[in-house]
Amino acid sequence: MSTLIYTESSLTPADAAYRHVIPAGDFWMHEIKAGQVLRILDLEGNQAADTLFYAAADFRERYSAQDTIRENGGIYLTTGTKLYSNELNVLAEITADTCGRHDTLGGACSCEANTLRYGHGTRHMHSCRQSFLLGLMTWPGSTFDLNKRDIPANINFFMNVPVTPEGGLQFADGVSSPGKYVEMTARMDIVALISNCPQLNNPCNGWNPTPVEVLIWNP
Amino acid sequence: MPLLTPPAPSGTSFTTPRPTGPVPQPAPIPADRLLVEETIPGGSAVSFVVRRHTTLRLTALEAGANISFLCFNRAEPVDRYNMADTLKGQHTSKLTTGCMLYSDMARALFSITGDTLGWHDPLGGHDTAAHVEKKWGKKNYQTARNDWHRNSHDHFLIELSKHGLNARDLVPNINFFSKLSTDSDGRLSFVPNHSKAGDHLDLRAELDVLVILTTCHHPMDTRLAYGPAPIRLQLYRTDPPSATDYCRTYRPENERALYNSELFSL
């Protein structure tokens, strides 16, 4: 039986410097300074928050799923996990987690990938990578033209995607519930891009996409 | 040519069983179908195009080989191998016969039509100069000439640049011939000497595919001495996937990925 690691935060919402609710299917893109703490709060439970991080100084440096799992020695993200960039720098570190584990192998849904997974009838449904693209294309702080090349493999906060010793990959029941959260401390100036997943075709959102809240505390 | 129509959806199909029956084994390449063959020394890199319905055979020439591998839709390199779509679309964390390599526009780039090994690693990423120096020390060209210590990260950047691409295109890679095992807590460990000399796999291109590969060590390789293995590359002509093709029928998702490749090739 695998272990879930729960760590409460000492931070209180009343002290947060910033709060914002991301409706299901919407995106949120925001700079987080080194030392600031970002909390993602699963308001109603079973919601997937598909998340990318970039180095604010140069978006060519960004979150790397493969480097993160290899350098941490495991596929699940939880308290203590360092989120590595493609340059092997630590972008942020997970410092509290009441959910227990998060996925970084399952990636983000797209209109095109939906045709593979659910059939071509889903081609025109809303998807995470539409949100990522709109976020990248409209980010006012970018110094160069961001586009699809800038969408690497992402983190799926609150998603449970176990890998079996035989090499299988499962979409298991969520381990999240209303009020669960994950917190990370930025180790450099970063930009977070969250797609609050609109997926209606699999249980990652409990078949019902719901809002999440983001909170930021100053050091 | 008949009207191209999308394959039927298969519901949510989270637990669609794999095909039963024998797994196809790679056969000797007929002499009249072989187009080219080349030996790549360990620690090297190459990039080349594999035309649609041509097969790339990769053969380990020594035990413990590794090929770090990237691939792109040649016509639109912004459409490239996508680790997450490939794994979740086929409900797998390893690559072997039957699997396809999906692009991030949901097209089949390659089908793995044969494999003597049974497990190739899509998770571990690639080594960097820092990994190599930490494990085996630094050997530069000035002092070691062709015995210098090389790494996939630098190779990938160099080869990407030759095709007008750059670090933004350095997506998660595959490591052919390597295996990582995971325990029930998701902890990863490298399986030493997973491949033996002569192990090989066949990759049938379903579009014109740009391949970039290195023969550097896996980043979690535990051996005591630097010594990446040489590889043989062969390209040979193959037929388009039939209606009963093993890879096509391996998953309903694969049928739809092939349809998306067909659509792109009209």
Q: Which residue of B has its CA nearest to A168?
A: B92
pLDDT mean across residues, chain A:
94
Which of 190-229 (B) contact A at CB < 8 A?
219-220
| A10 in contact with B, Cβ within 8 Å | no
Is the model's pLDDT at B12 over the cut of 60? no
Residue B240 has pLDDT above 70, yes or no: yes
CB-based contact B167 A117, cutoff 8 Å = no
Residue B64 lies in domain: 36-264
Chain A partners within 8 Å of B191 (Cβ): none
CA distance B68 to chain A (A): 13
Of the pLDDT bands very low, low, confident and very high (cuts 50, 70, 90), residue B8 is confident
- Cβ separation of A112 and B104 shorter than 8 Å? yes
pLDDT confidence bin for B14, thresholds 50/70/90: low
B137 in a structural domain: yes
Q: What is the pLDDT of residues A8-45, one digit of tens each?
A: 999 999 999 999 999 999 999 999 999 999 999 999 99
Q: List pLDDT tens digits, range A69-89.
A: 999 999 999 999 999 999 999
A98 pLDDT above the threshold of 70: yes
Helix axis angle for A111-118 and B252-264, nearest 10°, is: 130
Q: What percent of chain A has pLDDT over 70?
A: 98
Q: Is the pLDDT of residue B13 over 60?
A: no
- Mean pLDDT over B31-44 rounds to 98
Report the mean per-residue pLDDT for chain B: 95
- Cβ B106–A149 below 8 Å, yes or no? no
Of A67, A75, A154, the CB nearest to B125: A67
Q: Give domain status of residue B9, yes or no.
A: no
pLDDT tens track for B48-107 = 999 999 999 999 999 999 999 999 999 999 999 999 999 999 999 999 999 999 999 999
Structure tokens at A144: 């160069």
Contacts of B94 in chain A (CB under 8 A): 167
Mean pLDDT of the region A81-106: 97
Separation between Cα atoms, residue B153 and residue B155, nearest integer Å = 5
Is B184 within 8 Å of A201 when comparing Cβ atoms? no
Q: Which of B217, B201, B225 is nearest to B155 (CA)?
A: B217
User: Domain total for chain B?
Assistant: 1
Q: Is A168 on the interface with B (CB under 8 A)?
A: yes
pLDDT of residue A5: 87
pLDDT of residue B16: 61
Over residues A186-200, mean pLDDT = 97
Tell me the whole-structure pTM to 2 decimals.
0.96
Is residue B169 less than 8 Å (CB to CB) from chain A? yes
| Residue B193 confidence (pLDDT) above 80 | yes
Instruction: For residue range B93-151, list pLDDT tens digits in order.
Output: 999 999 999 999 999 999 999 999 999 999 999 999 999 999 999 999 999 999 999 99
Tell me which chain A residue has its CA closest to the CA of residue B183. A165
Q: How confident is the model at residue A207 (pLDDT cuts 50, 70, 90)?
A: confident
A169 vs B: CB within 8 A: yes
Distance from CA of B248 to the nearest CA of A (A): 12
pLDDT for A1 equals: 47
With 70 as the cut, is the pLDDT of residue A143 above it? Answer: no
Stretch A138-161: mean pLDDT = 89
Nearest-Cα distance to chain B for A190, in Å, is 17
Measured in angstroms, the CA of B11 and the nearest CA of chain A are apart by 6
**Cβ contact, residue pair A66, B89, below 8 Å:** no
* pLDDT for residue A170: 80
Q: Does B98 touch chain A (CB under 8 A)?
A: no
